[in-house]
Amino acid sequence: MWDQFLWVIFPYLSLVIFVLGHIYRYVYDQYGWTPKSSQMFERRMLMWGVLLFHWGILFVFIGHVMGLLVPIEVYRAMGVSDHAYHLLALWAGTFFGVIALAGILLLNMRRWFISRVRTNTETMRFITDGLLLVVILSGLFATVGYRIYAAQYDLPAEFEYRENIAPWFRSLFYFAPQAELMLEVPLMFQVHVLLAFVLFALWPFSSLVHVFSIPLGYLRRGYIQYRSSNPQAARARERARRKGQQVPRPERSRNVE
């Protein structure tokens, strides 16, 4: 019963919450669909964190699609050997996984250690960002750590997850789940899979829903113009900036009694 819960009931429960939660969120909370901007509180760590995380996780996602959704027989029919595939998965997966890890680590540090960002961050954002960090760490640990573990116990260096995890994952969508395929999977891979399904269950109730927003409207939207309350001072600062001079700070208004 425990195995059935972990590898049948819990995955289906997570996927149902994932689908229905997005529908509910789209119908009743469209104004909260996009994440709140915190750029005004801190820019540098946000820029590097977002850049590294989004590019890293994009290629990590592509790698998971290639490994989980494409059957192993397709690669063998194409002439791609198992060893060549695992070498590509090891080096490319580790490279982009480290990039994604560096990005989400910066974003987590920014939320926890910069007081203004921390004060204006919702609890769910702390949870999902922290969970993303743990999921990526567990994935890297499974990818690299298994080889270290296998070398110590004289096991095959390459764990063929395309013969157990991938068929099990696809069987969920066939509505014929094969829980027995996950029983012999190493613990580090099992933990990574379960953490990913926890993330799927929390996804609809967090800012991660913006992944499904395609900003096509930006292609035809006009520029937004911001006007200063002190045009003369704004022009002076702009001229100084173009000449490479020190930009004068705007004077603060004083209350005169």
Q: Which residues are annotated as a binding site?
A: 54, 64, 192, 210
171, 178 in Cβ contact below 8 A?
Answer: yes
Enumerate the known binding-site residues for heme b.
54, 64, 192, 210
Q: What is the DSSP string of the chain?
A: -HHHIIIIIHHHHHHHHHHHHHHHHHHH-GGGSSPPP-TTT--HHHHHHHHHHHHHHHHHHHHHHHHHTS-HHHHHHTT--HHHHHHHHHHHHHHHHHHHHHHHHHHHHHHHH-HHHHHT--HHHHHHHHHHHHHHHHHHIIIIIHHHHHHHTT--SS--GGGTHHHHHHHHHTT---GGGGTTS-HHHHHHHHHHHHHHHHGGGSGGGGGG---GGGGTPPPPP---SSHHHHHHHHHHHHTTPPPPPPPPP----
